[in-house]
Amino acid sequence: AKLAGRNQIAFFNPAMTRELARRKEIESELRGAIQRDELALYFQPIIDLATGRIRAFEALVRWFHPEKGELTPDEFIPVAEDTGLIITLGNWITRTAARACASWPGDVHLAVNLSPAQLRAPGAALGISAALRDTGLDPARLEFEVTESLFVEECHETTVFMEHLAAIGVRFSLDDFGTGYSSLHYINKYPFSTIKVDRSFVSGPATGLRTEAIIRAVAEMGATLGMEIVAEGLETADQVAGVRAAGCTLGQGYYFSRPVPEHLALRLLEEERGL
Ligand code: C2E
Ligand code: CA
Ligand code: CA
Ligand code: CA
């Protein structure tokens, strides 16, 4: 670091400068990516652990960049959030995912990730209602996944938004459960139907008796409160058996399927149901 001014140190180093340049580049290219048709939604099945059948698909966005190749959402969603592009992007995601779900059998649900900025934007609930109306999707088949980062700022709009959508039948799940600080507080305060136990509890290095006890306690609470408990990141048959024994009702992970493009999601459904 070199002295940039009185009492001020410039912390920029070459790696950070490169990172900044990359973000700038992603920002400017993301603006055109939707129009250029470079974005796609992939779908990962969420399995009913009691029956082994597909209960829902989670929509996960992908960006196939003509030069950079496939970019993961962790690379561009934060940029979209910082620049406000997430509003346009999020509307596209909800609409595209809802259209796909509307073509599936009626008991198959849809999970869509929602960024905090998306739901604080003025008219956010209107955009979602419009997507539901235009695609004809039954609101009861839609579940929004939010993380507790949504609640760091106490925000009246958040409550209004969630209650408005909950009133028309849309459900909410608390994603990445267990990675934050006060998840129990949020479960108590907001209308969540589902808890998604973070992958780190299932397949992290620290899994064992302790994490099993935690999952069991969460599942027990879920059962008492009438909530579904999804175990994320299931990669092995042992993990599936473990979370099932611990009382999780739903499971998701590479063991069942990786996220796949829409036509393969449809094929998974056809194979399962002999359609
Ligand atoms: P998330 O919502 O927690 O999504 C789960 C992530 O875990 C996905 O990564 C998924 O591909 C991955 N995963 C699923 N099963 C397994 C497994 O068995 N093992 C391992 N190692 N990983 C598994 P992905 O698609 O790269 O998404 C990363 C994050 O980006 C998501 O985490 C979510 O926070 C965000 N994201 C993805 N799509 C969207 C979107 O459409 N909108 C918003 N706002 N955020 C999104
Ligand atoms: Ca999620
Ligand atoms: Ca998650
Ligand atoms: Ca996550």
Distance 1 CA to ligand 2 centre (A): 38
Distance 13 CA to ligand 1 centre (A): 30
Distance 171 CA to ligand 4 centre (A): 18
* Best CA proximity match to 114, nearest among 69, 161, 75, 169: 161
CA-to-CA separations, 60 to 69, 93, 199, in angstroms, rounded: 17, 9, 16
Which ligand number lies closest to the CA of residue 253? 1
Nearest CA, atom 19, ligand 1: 233
Distance 14 CA to ligand 3 centre (A): 32
pLDDT in tens, the chain (275 residues): 444 555 555 666 888 888 888 888 889 999 899 889 899 999 999 999 999 999 999 999 999 999 989 999 999 999 999 988 999 999 999 999 999 999 999 999 999 999 998 888 877 888 898 999 999 999 999 999 999 888 887 788 888 889 999 999 999 999 999 887 777 888 988 999 999 999 988 876 666 777 888 899 999 999 999 999 999 999 999 999 999 999 999 999 999 999 999 999 999 999 999 86
Q: Which atom of ligand 1 is nearest to the CA of 254?
A: 18
* Best CA proximity match to 140, nearest among 170, 110, 164, 167: 170
Q: Which atom of ligand 1 is nearest to the CA of 252?
A: 15
Instruction: For a ligand 1 pocket test, name from 42, 60, 77, 201 the mutation site with the most ligand atoms within 8 angstroms of its C-beta.
Output: 60
pTM of the entire structure?
A: 0.93
Q: Do residues 222 and 249 touch, judged by C-beta distance below 8 A?
A: yes
Structure tokens at 1: 């670091």
ipTM score for this prediction? 0.98
Pairwise CA distance, residues 41 & 43, whole Å: 7
